[in-house]
Homo-oligomer: A and B are copies of this chain.
Amino acid sequence: MNSPNNTTLEIDELNTWELRKRAQLINSLGGFKSVCLIGTQNKEHQTNLAIFNSVIHLGANPPLIGFIQRPDTAERHTLSNILETGYYTINHLNEQIYRQAHQTSARYPNEISEFDVTNLKPEYKNNFFAPFVAQSHVQIGVQFKERINIALNNTILMIGEIKMISFPNECLSSDGFLDIEKAQSITCSGLDSYHKTVRLSRLSYAKPDTTPHDID
């Protein structure tokens, strides 16, 4: 039995919805998402910066991180720069830069760098080839490893290995946990909704016959 306050929709009914409205709903269902800026440059040092809400942790050993690239219908400067040079940066958003970050999703021609039009500053360090975002508090330097084509809908899972990281000193706990809320990282939902977070708690490793307790 459904609660009278709940809507239950079968896919056949949803398929009758207008395409954009349906896309908004489906995009909301996956829950809160990582939202990051991916920085690249081509061999001629033309930089590019693009917002992605599909970054995903794949494993710690080796340290692998992935993101989903939409179907390759339009020009995809991030994809072509990564395939050409092998390096990119993943930069967390925060409350101070999320509007500029959102603006990078506008369709600028290849010769215009989103760094310039949004006043997000490229930052180069430790001889890493790709540009970081100076205003981002958690920055990750990544080397491209593998491209996996998802035939079901022509998206691409791009996988890279983490090569360097940068974060505020005071956000690292003694057990290795990085407090990204303290670093002011934000999250997003759906296609266009941005949220900051409030910690409920960290919970201890779960074992049968005990109840998890708060840590910190």
Chain A residues with a Cβ under 8 A of chain B:
1-2, 5-11, 14, 17, 19-36, 54-65, 68, 90, 92, 95, 98-99, 102-108, 117, 125-126, 138, 140, 145-146, 148, 150-153, 155, 157, 159, 161-170, 172-173, 175-181, 185-187, 189-208, 211-212, 215
Contacts and interface: CB of A to CB of B under 8 A. Distances in A.
Given A61-B19, A177-B24, A125 B8 contact: yes
A128 to B, nearest CB: 9
Given A172-B25, A203-B192, A150 B152 contact: no
Nearest to A17: B176
Nearest to A30: B57
Given A7-B172, A9-B166, 15 more contacts: A1-B125, A10-B164, A20-B176, A21-B176, A29-B90, A29-B140, A29-B178, A30-B34, A31-B36, A31-B92, A32-B34, A98-B200, A180-B189, A181-B189, A195-B199
